[in-house]
Amino acid sequence: MERYIFYIVALIMIVSAIASVSSRKMLRSVIYLLFVLAGIAGIFFLIDYNFLAAVQLTVYAGGIIVLIIFSVLLVHHIEMKLEVEKTSKRLVTAIACLIGIGVFVSTIYSYDFKVTDISTTTTTEDIGLGLLSYEAGGFILPFEVISVLLLAAIIGAIVIAKGKKLESNNEETI
């Protein structure tokens, strides 16, 4: 049963990813990206990482997609069609990507992964304790650094998107 669910999710993800990078309408390609992200959350549910699936759904499907949709609506007309690259360049890129997929897949299949049969369910408590432990192998320092990074990103986004200083400078130079 799970096997067929995985195949269906994988098919949906690949088709929507291709549609997302080749669709000529901006808003549609964002919605196709939403399907890919929801499919990845589905894979996290299948391999029993419920917390990561919830994070994926809230941060990506709930936050980033809405942000991208807002930016699309702010800078585009909905009916506007995107320019496409020359066919020859697209063909060369597609062939290079296919060669890359071939190299990756042949490398993966020639390596012998030592898969274990133990299956443990990870609770959110384990993840929280691991993130906040300051013993060897704990992740407290990156956790703090990422909080500083998020604060810097928030302040930087506000300052850049306001953009008043740049405009006044431009008027002076003109």
What residues between 94 and 133 interact with another protein by CB under 8 A? 94, 97-98, 100-101, 104-105, 108-109, 113-116, 118-120, 122, 126-127, 130-131
DSSP β-bridge partners for residue 81 = 25
Identify residues 11-40 at the interface with another protein (CB under 8 A): 13-14, 17-18, 20-22, 26, 29-30, 33, 36-37, 40
Return the ∠ at Cα 52 (arms to 63 and 2), rounded to 5°: 115
Nearest approach in angstroms of CB 146 to another protein is: 5
How many residues in the shown chain lie near another protein by CB under 8 A?
86
CA distance 30 to 32: 5
Nearest approach in angstroms of CB 40 to another protein is: 5
Nearest approach in angstroms of CB 79 to another protein is: 15
Q: How many CB atoms lie within 10 A of CB 40?
A: 18
By CB under 8 A, name the one of 8, 78, 132, 167 that touches another protein.
Answer: 167
Residue 78 or 157: the one with the smaller Cβ distance to another protein is 157
Return the ∠ at Cα 42 (arms to 30 and 48), rounded to 5°: 150
- If one asks whether residue 62 binds another protein (CB under 8 A), the answer comes out as no
Phi-psi region of 141 (alpha: psi -120 to 50; beta: other; left: phi over 0): alpha
By CB under 8 A, name the one of 136, 141, 160, 174 that touches another protein.
Answer: 160
Q: For residues 174 and 166, is the Cβ–Cβ distance under 8 A?
A: no
In 23-174, alpha helices (H)? 26-46, 50-55, 65-75, 87-110, 124-132, 140-162, 164-173
How many whole angstroms from its chain centre is CA 107?
A: 24
Nearest approach in angstroms of CB 141 to another protein is: 11
Nearest approach in angstroms of CB 28 to another protein is: 11
